[in-house]
Amino acid sequence: MLTTAQLLQPLARRRTNEVVVTTMSVVRPWGRLSDHDLDFASADSAMGHAADLALGIALARPDRKVVCLNGDGSMLMSLGTLATAVGLGAANYVLFVADNGEYEITGHQAVPGAGRIDHADLAQAAGFRHVFRFEEARPYAEAVGDILSLPGPTFVHAVVEPGREGPISRGPAEQARYLRHSLADWSHQLRAALAADRPG
């Protein structure tokens, strides 16, 4: 298994101008590694809808990659998004599932089918163009560059150890900049940042 840090650090090192959408247990860890205007925390948000929200950004901005760092519990809440993403042929869409087998931030309850659901197989069956599955840190770290550069839709199933993240809030007490704003304020800032960075 990877740790959450082993999942996120190689991605943060390789990331350039991709939009990165996080949710649930990776929201704070990503915020400790990244302070980018194009980060978006799907926190204080809709359950299970980070992957489809990221897909919407990808459809609007085919000129840049959009990475979603989803969880296994969140993915199970909206499996239909796998079909939608493939049906739309979103070549700039990279969907990660950090599979820790539990609802970490609500108190470590097991997700349905924990340990028996292979998310990579689900993505393969849905028709994702590239599907990766990682249980070890080194091959993952070596592949991250390719993952970000391949034409998608691309799916990454990473088996990770449960962490110790608790419920997420928004406000000045949060360390990550993208959590110090309301969802509305950060949304409008991200929209402006993307508009400013639109190719001529």
Partner 1 sequence: MSTPTAESKPTAESKPTATLHALVMAGVTHVIGIPDNASGPLFQEILRHPTIRLVTVAREGEAFAIAAGLWLGGAAPLVVIQNTGLLESGDALRGTAVRMAAPVPMVVTGRGYATLEAAGLRPGQPATLELLTRADVDSTALLTEPTLEAWGVPFERCGADDDPVAAVTRTIASAREQGRPVAVVMTRPLA
- Of the candidates 13, 35, 47, 142, which one interacts with partner 1 according to CB under 8 A? 47
Place of tokens 């085919």: 62
- Of the candidates 33, 37, 61, 127, which one interacts with partner 1 according to CB under 8 A? 61
Residue 57 or 179: which CB sits closer to partner 1? 57
- Using CB under 8 A as the binding rule, whether residue 55 contacts partner 1 is answered as yes
**Residue 135 burial (CB count, 10 A):** 13
- Using CB under 8 A as the binding rule, whether residue 110 contacts partner 1 is answered as no
- Using CB under 8 A as the binding rule, whether residue 156 contacts partner 1 is answered as no
CA within 13 Å, CB half, 135? 4
- Of the candidates 32, 35, 80, 125, which one interacts with partner 1 according to CB under 8 A? 80
- Of the candidates 60, 89, 125, 138, which one interacts with partner 1 according to CB under 8 A? 60
- Using CB under 8 A as the binding rule, whether residue 125 contacts partner 1 is answered as no
Write b or e for each residue in 31-65: b if 16 or more Cβ atoms lie within 10 A of its Cβ, otherwise e: bebbebbbbbbbbebeebbbbbbbbebbeebeebb
- Using CB under 8 A as the binding rule, whether residue 87 contacts partner 1 is answered as yes
**What are the φ and ψ backbone dihedral angles of 54, each rounded to 5 degrees?**
-60, -35
* Residues of span 4-43 touching partner 1 by CB under 8 A: 40
- Using CB under 8 A as the binding rule, whether residue 94 contacts partner 1 is answered as no
Residue 173 or 184: which CB sits closer to partner 1? 184
List interacting residues with partner 1 (CB under 8 A): 40, 44-47, 49-50, 52-61, 78, 80-81, 83-84, 87-88, 183-184, 187-188, 190-191, 194-195, 198
